[in-house]
Amino acid sequence: MEIYKKSITELSDLLNKKTISSVEMTNYFLERIKTHDSKLNSFITINDRFALKKAAEADKKISNNEHHLLTGIPIAHKDLFSTKNILTTCGSKMLKNYKPPFDATVVKKLDDIGMVNIGKTNMDEFAMGSSNESSYFGVVKNPWNLDKVPGGSSGGSAAAVAACLSPVATGSDTGGSIRQPASFCGLTGLKPTYSSVSRYGMIAYASSLDQGGPIGKSAEDCAILYNEINGYDPNDSTSNHEQKIEKIKLNFTKENASKIRIGIPLEYFSKNLDQSISDEIFKSIDVFKKLGFKIKEISLPNHNFTIPAYYIIASAEASSNLSRYDGVKFGYRCKDPKNLEELYFKTRKEGFGKEVKKRVMIGAYALSSGYYDEYYIRALKIRRIIRDSFLAAFKDVDFIFAPTSPTTAFNIGEKTSNAVDMYLSDIYTTPVNLAGLPALSIPVGYSNNLPVGLQIIGNYFSESGILNIAHFYQKNTEWHLKVPKEFDNE
C-alpha cells in the first residue's frame, strides 16, 4: 500500500473508508521511527503511549462522523513547541528535563481537531543554527546522504518527513529555518507572514523574527496544515488581529497563471550561488513559463546588507529572551552555587552550548551602552530599507522567485569552524524574515544527487497565492514525490 508515501488527503481517505484505523496508522509510523531513526537522530522524544491514546480517540471521532480532514493523521512537532506534560527541550541541556504545563497554540489547534502527536523532533539548540549540529542531543543527518546535514534549525522535522517517518511536521523559521531544511531535504516548507501563526508556547529565540509553519512533502499538505494553525490568538501580543485570513483553496488554472508576474532578482544569482543550483532553478523557471507565468527581471539592491543586520537583531533579541534561564525559575540548575551570582554564571555556562553562548554575547554587546546606536539601531534601519525594497518590487511583480540556499546540503562538520560560512547559508532566506513576508521553498531538481530548492516569496498575507503557484507547479512535475532511496521501503 506504501502508506509512507501518501499525502494527507490520501491518508485521510484511507481512514474515512476504514481501510486502516488511526491506531494502525500511528503504529505504522512509530515502527518506521524505530526502524530508521537510529540512522538519522531526527527525534528527541517519541510519544508512543500518548500517540496511541490520541489515535484511539481519533478513531472514535471518525466512527461517529465527527472528524476533520486531519483527524487521526500523525504529526511530529519541532521541540520548541510546548507540549503539555511532554518533554520540550529546545535542543538544549538547559531544558533537557522540562515538561511544560500547557500546549503551544499551534499544538493545541491541531490536537483539538484530532491530529496525533507522535513525537518531538531534534533541532539546533534554541533554534540557533543552519545545520542541526548544535543540538545537545546530537547531530541530525540528511536522509538523502547520511554524511550531509539536513539544514537547520528545523532539521529534525525535515529529516523525519523526508525519510517518511511522519507525514508532516511543524517547524519554526527565524532566518530560514523551515525553508533551508526543506530545500536540503527535498521538501515543501512554508514560512508564513509574521503574526499570522501564533507564537504562544513557542520557545523564543528572536521574537520579532520567529514564525511557526508547516513542513510537508507538497504544497497541498502545507496548505491543509496552514489552514488550521493560522489565525488571531489573544495569548500572543504580536498576533495579527486586523487581517482576516481566508481558508486556502487550491484551484489555480493556466488562466490564473497568465495574469501572474514573477520577479527574478538579479542580485540573488551572483557568485554566491553555486552554478549547478542556478542551472536547476532556471530549468524550473522555464517550466513556469510554459505553464503561462510572466517572468521579469527585477532588482533587490540591498540584499548584501541582510546577513549583518539579521545577526545583530536576532542575537540582540536572543540575549534578552535567554536571560530567563537563570537556574531559579525552571530548567537546568548548577550544583552547589556559593551565591546568587555564581548560580547565574555556572547555570548558563553549563546549560548553554557554544553557539548559543556566542550569539548571546554578540547580542549583549550590541545592546550595551555606547554600542546600542552604532549596531542595534543601525541594524533596525537596514531592516526597514530591506522591507521597503521588497514593497517597491511588489509594485512591479506579484511574486518573487529566488534560490533557497546558495549550496545543496554540505558535509557534517564542514562549516562548524567557520561562523561566516555557516551564517551565509541563510543569505537568501533572512531578508524575508527581516521584512516579515511569507515565503515557500519547493524542490525543483538535484545537484550531485542532492535536492535543490526554489523559494517563492509573496507580499504580506499572500500565502494563498504562493501555495497555489507551488501546487500548480507540483501538479505538472514530480520532484516533490521523490523519496531517499534508503528510506523508500515499507
Cell numbers 548571546: residue: 360
Mean pLDDT for the stretch of residues 3-24: 97
Cell numbers 508515501: residue: 5
CB 155 within 8 A of CB 380: no
Quick check: is 381 in a domain?
Answer: no
Mean pLDDT, the chain, whole residue set: 96
pLDDT on residue 490 = 86
Quick check: is 474 in a domain?
Answer: yes
Work out the angle between the directed axes of helices 105-112 and 219-229 (0-180°, nearest 10). 100
Confidence at 302, pLDDT banded by 50, 70, 90? confident
* Catalytic residue chosen out of the listed positions 130, 135, 153, 195: 153
* Catalytic residue chosen out of the listed positions 135, 177, 183, 389: 177
Domain harbouring 223, CATH code: 3.90.1300.10
Higher pLDDT pick, 78 / 303: 78
Work out the angle between the directed axes of helices 48-63 and 8-16 (0-180°, nearest 10). 60
DSSP 8-state symbol, 197: B
Q: How many domains does the chain have?
A: 1
Residue 306 CA to residue 431 CA, distance in Å, equals 6
pLDDT on residue 119 = 98
Q: Which residues pair with 197 in a beta bridge?
A: 230
What strand order describes the sheet that includes 188-191? 43-46, 116-121, 74-78, 169-172, 212-216, 188-191, 439-447, 450-458, 399-403, 261-265, 294-298
Q: For residue 460, what is its C-alpha cell? A: 504580506
Mean pLDDT for the stretch of residues 398-417: 96
Quick check: is 317 in a domain?
Answer: no
The three-point CA angle 124-130-205 to 5° equals: 55
- Taking the mean position of all CA atoms in its chain, how far away is CA 411? 21
Over residues 160-202, the pLDDT tens digits come to 999 999 999 999 999 999 999 999 999 999 999 999 999 999 9
> In this structure, what are the phi and psi dihedrals at residue 168, rounded to the nearest 5 degrees?
-145, 170
Q: What DSSP letter does each residue of 234-270 carry, written as one string?
A: TT-TT---SS--PPP-----HHHHTT-EEEEEGGGGS
Over residues 98-140, the pLDDT tens digits come to 999 999 999 999 999 999 999 999 999 999 999 999 999 999 9
133: domain range? 3-257+397-487
Confidence at 303, pLDDT banded by 50, 70, 90? confident
When computed from its CA atoms, the radius of gyration of the chain, rounded to whole angstroms, is 21
Handedness of CA 8, 5, 151, 303 (dihedral sign): negative
Element containing residue 216 per DSSP (H, E):
strand 212-216
The three-point CA angle 104-65-251 to 5° equals: 70
Over residues 73-84, the pLDDT tens digits come to 999 999 999 999
Element containing residue 213 per DSSP (H, E):
strand 212-216
- Residues 6 or more apart whose Cβ sits within 8 Å of residue 379: 308, 309, 310, 312, 313, 316, 366
CB 258 within 8 A of CB 292: yes
* Catalytic residue chosen out of the listed positions 54, 78, 109, 191: 78
Quick check: is 383 in a domain?
Answer: no
pLDDT on residue 272 = 81
The verdict on whether 195 is a catalytic residue reads no
Over residues 334-387, the pLDDT tens digits come to 999 999 999 999 999 999 999 999 999 999 999 998 899 999 999 999 999 999
Residue 19 CA to residue 37 CA, distance in Å, equals 27
3-state secondary structure of 317: helix
261-265 vs 294-298, strand pairing mode: parallel
Quick check: is 266 in a domain?
Answer: no
3-state secondary structure of 291: coil
pLDDT on residue 39 = 98
Quick check: is 148 in a domain?
Answer: yes
Confidence at 66, pLDDT banded by 50, 70, 90? confident
3-state secondary structure of 33: helix
Asked whether residue 230 carries a pLDDT value surpassing 90, the answer given is yes
3-state secondary structure of 145: strand
Q: What is the pTM of this model?
A: 0.97
Amino acid at residue number 55: A
CB 215 within 8 A of CB 171: yes
Element containing residue 456 per DSSP (H, E):
strand 450-458
Closest by CA to 138, choosing from 181, 182, 170, 92, is 92
Cell numbers 533541532: residue: 123
Quick check: is 296 in a domain?
Answer: no
Asked whether residue 1 carries a pLDDT value surpassing 80, the answer given is no
pLDDT on residue 242 = 84
The verdict on whether 78 is a catalytic residue reads yes
Mean pLDDT for the stretch of residues 228-241: 95
CB 212 within 8 A of CB 226: no
Over residues 28-54, the pLDDT tens digits come to 999 999 999 999 999 999 999 999 999
pLDDT on residue 369 = 86
pLDDT on residue 313 = 97
Share of the chain above pLDDT 70, in %: 100
The verdict on whether 153 is a catalytic residue reads yes
Quick check: is 401 in a domain?
Answer: yes
Over residues 451-471, the pLDDT tens digits come to 999 999 999 999 999 999 999
> In this structure, what are the phi and psi dihedrals at residue 358, rounded to the nearest 5 degrees?
-60, -45
Q: What DSSP letter does each residue of 346-370 carry, written as one string?
A: HHHHHHS-HHHHHHHHHHHHHHSTT
Element containing residue 62 per DSSP (H, E):
helix 48-63
